[in-house]
Amino acid sequence: MKPDSNNPPRVRPGYWFLPRQFGLGATPATWQGWATIVSFVVLVICVDRSIDDPADKACTALLLGVPFIVLVWLKTDGGWGWHWPWRS
């Protein structure tokens, strides 16, 4: 079943993201999902500007990135998996 641009897919209550139509991952579907993405990007930019040592930057990025990915995975309606657009 192909998505209809006039009727975007709905996300169930408690979930902020929907699985991507093609590939692996998720896309924000609610304002909470978008707020999560924007907050993460702002946090990474602040860390990048405040830490000089590349090793410390990498370590901090890992410490921030793993919980972010776990949160997105937990808040994705339908879970993650490889999706092909031409398969139902």
pLDDT digits (tens, 9 = 90+) for 18-66: 888 788 889 898 999 999 999 999 999 998 899 999 999 999 989 999 9
Alpha helices by DSSP H, the chain: 31-50, 54-74
At 1 the pLDDT is 43
- Please give the angle made by the CA atoms of 42, 62 and 60, to the nearest 5 degrees: 65
Backbone angles phi, psi at 19, to 5 degrees: -60, 150
CB 84 within 8 A of CB 25: no
Q: What is the pTM of this model?
A: 0.75
Residues 6+ apart with CB under 8 A from 27: 17, 18, 19, 20, 33
